[in-house]
Amino acid sequence: MDVAELADGDPAEVALDNARRKALAVEVEGEGQVVLGADTLVALDGRTLPKPRDASRAREWLEALSGRNHRVVGGICVRAGELDTAVVATDVRFRALDDATIAWYLDSGEWRDRAGGYAIQGRGAALVERIEGDYLNVVGLSVAALAGLIPGLLERPR
């Protein structure tokens, strides 16, 4: 499945729209199947910092995030007959990043295919000063929000 991710517009609306389009792109065979669509965006000053296309753009994103607060917005869409959706926002503050730290992170290659050009669950954790909200949302999927959309998800099988 290849669904183009939108980046322009209100970050919460864009994340939710991307998640919805991903969930709807999956062909369902029969009843009772559950499809999950999810999208994570990094927003700074009201604009989205999508996945960087190259190291130069990743450097630009990291320099823009350096020493600043930004918001990570996750859109979730569960398709089980009906569509159920959630949006989760987590505030993240980056440490002030010097050129050596940015070069170290870029050399890791971890920035590839990552909204905002970083991955908090890897080396990108060294870039972060603090977060307020759901850590797993920053990783890419809020388990708490997902559990709220799928009753019984966390129940133990009998």
- The distance of Cα 103 from the centroid of its chain, to the nearest Å, equals 23
Residue 83, beta-bridge partner list? 79
Between strands 69-80 and 35-44, the pairing is antiparallel
Place of tokens 């905002």: 116
Residues 6+ positions from 87 with CB-CB distance below 8 Å:
12, 15, 16, 73, 74, 75, 76
39 as an active site residue: the answer is: yes
Catalytic annotation, pick one of 39, 84, 98, 107: 39
Between strands 82-94 and 69-80, the pairing is antiparallel
- Residue 115 tokens read as 């909204």
Residue positions annotated with a catalytic role:
39
